Amino acid sequence: MKKALLLSLAIGSLSMAAYAQTVERSRLAFTNAPAGPQFIQLTGTCAMSAAPDIAVVLGGIASGALKPIEGVEQLDQHLGIIRAYLEEAHGRLQLMERVRTLINPSSNPNERESPFQVVQRLSAEFSADAPIDAILQRLVELGLDRFGDNVLNSNGSRRTAVVLFRFNDFDAKMRNLQKQCIADAWKEWCVAQTSAGTCSSEQPPAALQLQSFAVRSTEKLLRPDGGGAQYWQFTYTGAQSQAEPLELLGKVVVHFSGTIMLTYRLEGKP
């Protein structure tokens, strides 16, 4: 009886020792396993200034006649004169819609408006440094009689902006600004204590992933749509690579400030 009990205790002790040894090996194996990748969030700031490159005159010309063909012929003659002047002034003409309208007969004997009217919407682009006021005056003298985008509105008392200023290749400017923000974020990461031994190059690695890139103008800008003066601001994300540039009502230098958030995958070490 005693021998059986002693044998049972010995077997139990051996089993517990084997279990403890197995547990210890599993714990050590887990502790010594390579650590997984770490995802670090980087932030940076940047700034730049830019002025519009292009001045655009928006408007149209209208021609009225008793018959459609007569009205179109008169309109084409005016366009020919305007086109010749724009070539001389180093401008670029872009023809938009050509709208043909007819008015119903009126019982008013004093009605003198031609029954047929054709309106050609157009835009003329120049360098932002061009003498835009002198150009606009000459275009009016040559027959430009509709202004802005709504060329069908012939109400002479309605005022509308006739000259807008635009940026040439605005996306390229924003890409350069974004590169500045990325460089700043990587520089801040490299000088941080937490990056000791992980910043192997002064150049940002291609593995940085964009989370968001927010841009805002320092000054408020008048909006052509009549929304008043507002900050120009927009945000890029990883899935969005372009932004719609704002048209300006005047040739002004716009100061942009940017803030970027990036994700950096830091591989673990054994």
pLDDT tens, 50-80?
Answer: 999 999 999 999 988 888 899 899 999 999 9
Measured between alpha carbons, how far is residue 57 from residues 125, 150, 256 in Å? 7, 13, 26
Full DSSP string of 97-156: EEEEEE----S-TT--S-SEEEEEEEEEEEETTS-HHHHHHHHHHTT--EESS-TT---T
Domain 54-165 fold: Alpha-Beta Plaits (3.30.70)
Global pTM reads: 0.74
Distance CA 204, CA 213 (A): 16
Task: Give the residue extent of every domain in the chain.
Answer: 38-51+168-266, 54-165
Residue listed under structure tokens 């396993």: 33
Fold of 38-51+168-266: Translation Initiation Factor IF3 (3.30.110)
Same fold, 38-51+168-266 and 54-165: no
Which amino acid would we find at residue 59?
Answer: G
pLDDT in tens, 86-119: 999 999 999 999 999 887 766 666 666 678 889 9
